[in-house]
Amino acid sequence: MTTTPGKPSGSLPGKPPVTDLATWQAAREELLVREKAHTREGDAIAAARRRLPMVEIDGTVEITGKDGPVPFLDLFEGRDELVVYQHMWYDGAPHQGQCEGCTTTVWHMKDAVYLNARGVSFAVLTAGPWEEVARYTEFMGYTQPWYSAVGLEAPIGGEPGHIVCFLRDGDRVFLTYSTTARGNEGINGSLSLLDMTPYGRGEAWEDRPEGRTVPGELHEGEPSEGHESCWYWRSDADGVATWGPTSRPVPQWTRPGATPVETLGRHGTFH
């Protein structure tokens, strides 16, 4: 959330300058040249990804899902390709204490029908114990398959917050690609849309015109020029972006029974 609910738009600071349509169109076309160059460079990078070498891994390694332990190979569901998101986990934490960044990422993958149509399966792996993971996925209403990879090393287990791609050739499994941090933004379509808006994501690192401050309520101790990265991933019950003790990952407020809390409860082991 980048604005406080009910805050009138007329009070937002640093609006873009007003001009006529012809002047706007000329500026828009000038920017379009750069956008097209960016798209072509993205295509070239994707082509380079397709030419990366690959590493064979053990597809018989077992992970645990709703049907119990299964070999990693089963995640392909008979398809040739697999994309996995590795979700961070805090052992013993309540739902509101789980990772807001991973929640945001996975929330944008409500299903994988378009991937499936291209012969690609999708799954979420986490280092949490399956009993906790099962309760969390039920609360969130996730429909994509989740699995617990407790104790496993990369690339099946390993560092959370990664997107990892695999290729299957019969019963053989190969690692083909991995990315993390801002490399994960490809899943999150909301970020691309925010980048099209005049106020952007509202993060402190963004390059904004002089006088263009971040809309929304600023909290004590926060710099007036912006917020830390992804400050809007959590909100309180009123929709105000905050990292305070009564906040939750934003999608959780849509879940039945979500109520304000007094602590994030991250008392368990971090994975």
Q: What percent of the chain has pLDDT over 90?
A: 67
Which residue's entry shows tokens 């690339």? 155
Domain presence at residue 180: yes
The reply to whether 120 falls in a domain is yes
Q: Evaluate whether residue 210 is within a structural domain.
A: no
- Report CA 203 to chain centroid distance, whole Å: 16
Q: Is residue 231 part of a domain?
A: no
On whether the CB atoms of residues 241 and 234 are closer than 8 A, the answer is: yes
Residue range of the domain that includes 166 = 55-185
Q: Does residue 263 surpass a pLDDT of 80? A: no
3-state class (DSSP) for residue 140: helix
Sign of the Cα pseudo-torsion (15, 16, 17, 21, in order): negative
Average predicted confidence (pLDDT) for the chain? 87
CATH assignment of the domain containing 98: 3.40.30.10
Taking only the tens place, the pLDDT of each residue in 152-171 is: 999 999 889 999 999 999 99
The pLDDT-based confidence of 13 (bands split at 50, 70, 90) is low
Could you report the per-residue pLDDT of 85-125, keeping only the tens digit for each?
999 999 999 999 999 999 999 999 989 999 999 999 999 99
Mean pLDDT of 193-213: 85
| Number of domains observed in the structure of the chain | 1
